[in-house]
């Protein structure tokens, strides 16, 4: 098992256990309630009778009742949803800011004073990437290889070009990012989902960069022995989009989305360039890099493939962590169409796996953490007056089935925001991706090919 699932799963389990034994605070019950409901208001153990968590207004007290409600024969939610619901409930109370916004007792993130966060943002005069070559893969998918000046290397991109590279009809571009594996293991949206069929009738370029392994799609302070030179924020905002627009008739009215590790960065990148990225989505990600849980989620994703979070943004509390935390920069997202999706980590048909027991443990725990973090972001954004589409699911365990379902659902909002028009293909899509062969994210037998 990789470090990321082990570390994060342990943290979630600890939160679930510890919250169960927190001493209750004062609570009352309405005079018209039933005996069982009255008991639930004063004792979390009584949730064994009602099957419902308490609703006292104390997030810690109410979170402590969730495991008992889940064990009840009258429970109205699956037992496997308990970790997600505990974290989400805790995040909805006074502990929320400590979990997702800051460390310490002040309203600002701690600053180590070690480095300057400006170094983790692109240079204003950064040059566009240089085109190197293009090759046909299948149907409308092409591999486009470019030279990144910022990273000093070639970068491959899998690109859906409706009608091929000779089609000059103006169209937006949808940047669809991978998780922590960065498709380095050979599995991407192309051969792990049916996204070709979904985009077959849509006039939009779909671009998936390959190789952003455990990078958080960020510009790092310094190079890393395991992941190399990481200047992915520069690549995705300054280098690649101008080249795509010039070569493939882009309109510059684009959208961006990411799964898992890249979900939060997709929202963050949109906030840096709202004129270009008019729509953004996070699929089973965490739109926070600060606080206890947000920081752990981020650092664990980097460590998963041997990366060093200190080389990325400095020590925990360095100003760079706050500078790239979407939940701390909501004002920059006011004009962006936002879509957030995550599930509670309950194995089900949506995962597309014959034996749901294969998804117990780390896959379910990672999704539970994604759900709680995503819900905190949505609640915070809505409280700040932002219009956010929230797609919460019960079933789903950080699987390709869940990611694709979320992507398809998001298109109801993202497509119109980008102005995507219908596309009438001359020939139908002829091949079917070998979805059944694709290793699932956090698959025990194929962890090296994980998309997390």
Specify the pLDDT at position 348: 87
Residue 166 has pLDDT above 90, yes or no: yes
Name the least confident of 25-29, 335-339, 349-353.
25-29
Specify the pLDDT at position 194: 93
85-107: b or e for each residue (b if 16 or more CB lie within 10 Å)?
bbbbbbbbbebbbbbbbbbeeee
Selection from 202, 170, 248 nearest residue 425 by Cα: 202
Name the least confident of 109-118, 292-301, 371-380, 442-451.
442-451
Specify the pLDDT at position 352: 79
Specify the pLDDT at position 90: 76
What is the percent of the chain where pLDDT is above 70? 72
DSSP three-state, residue 390: strand
Q: What is the pTM of this model?
A: 0.83
- Read off the pLDDT of residues 250-288 as tens digits, 9 standing for 90 and up: 999 999 999 999 999 999 999 999 999 999 999 999 999
Task: Please report which confidence band the pLDDT of residue 428 belongs to, taking 50, 70 and 90 as the band edges.
Answer: confident
The structure tokens listed for 268 are 């963050």
Domains of the chain (ranges; CATH) run: 3-100 (no CATH), 117-426+435-449 (3.40.50.1820)
Average pLDDT over residues 359-370: 78
Residue 70 has pLDDT above 50, yes or no: no
CA angle 140, 214, 85 (to 5 degrees): 95
- Read off the pLDDT of residues 78-134 as tens digits, 9 standing for 90 and up: 656 667 877 777 778 777 788 898 753 333 444 444 568 999 999 999 999 999 999
Inter-CA distances, 408 with 87, 400, 420, Å:
27, 12, 14
């Amino acid at each position: 098992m990789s470090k990321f699932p082990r570390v994060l799963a342990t943290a979630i389990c600890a939160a679930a256990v510890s919250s169960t034994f927190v001493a209750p605070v004062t609570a009352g019950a309405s005079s018209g309630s039933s005996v069982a409901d009255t008991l639930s208001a004063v004792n979390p153990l009584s949730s064994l009778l009602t099957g419902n968590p308490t609703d006292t207004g104390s997030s810690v007290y109410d979170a402590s009742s969730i495991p008992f409600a889940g064990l009840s024969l009258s429970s109205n939610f699956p037992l496997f949803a308990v970790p997600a619901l505990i974290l989400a409930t805790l995040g909805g109370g006074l502990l929320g800011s400590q979990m997702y916004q800051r460390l310490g007792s002040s309203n600002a993130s701690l600053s180590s004073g070690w480095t300057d966060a400006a170094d983790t943002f692109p240079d204003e005069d950064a040059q566009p990437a240089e085109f190197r070559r293009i090759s046909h893969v299948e149907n409308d998918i092409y591999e486009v290889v470019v030279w990144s000046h910022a990273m000093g290397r070639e970068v491959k991109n899998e690109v859906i070009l409706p009608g091929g590279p000779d089609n000059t009809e103006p169209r937006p571009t949808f940047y669809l990012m991978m998780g922590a594996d960065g498709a380095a293991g050979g599995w991407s949206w192309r051969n792990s989902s049916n996204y070709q069929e979904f985009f077959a009738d849509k006039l939009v370029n779909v671009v998936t960069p390959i190789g952003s392994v455990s990078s958080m799609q960020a510009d790092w302070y310094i190079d890393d022995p395991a992941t190399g030179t990481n200047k992915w924020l520069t690549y995705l905002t300054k280098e690649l989009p101008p080249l795509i627009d010039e070569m493939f008739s882009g309109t510059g009215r684009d959208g961006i989305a990411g799964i898992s590790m890249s979900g939060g960065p997709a929202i963050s990148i949109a906030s840096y360039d709202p004129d270009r990225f008019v729509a953004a989505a996070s699929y089973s990600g965490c739109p926070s890099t600060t606080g206890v849980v947000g920081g752990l989620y981020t650092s664990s994703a980097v460590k998963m493939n041997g990366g060093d979070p200190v080389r990325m943004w400095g020590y925990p509390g360095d100003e760079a962590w706050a500078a790239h935390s979407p939940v701390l920069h909501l004002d920059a997202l006011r004009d962006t169409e936002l879509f957030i999706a995550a599930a509670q980590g309950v194995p089900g048909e949506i995962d597309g796996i014959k034996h749901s027991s294969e998804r117990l443990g780390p896959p379910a725990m990672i999704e539970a953490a994604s759900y709680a973090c995503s819900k905190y972001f949505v609640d915070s954004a809505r409280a700040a007056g932002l219009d956010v589409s929230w797609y919460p699911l019960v079933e789903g365990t950080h699987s390709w089935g869940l990611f694709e379902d979320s992507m398809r659902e998001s298109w109801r909002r993202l497509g119109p925001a980008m102005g995507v028009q219908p596309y009438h293909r001359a020939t139908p899509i002829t091949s079917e991706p070998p979805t059944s062969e694709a290793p699932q994210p956090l698959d025990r037998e194929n962890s090296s090919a994980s998309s997390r």
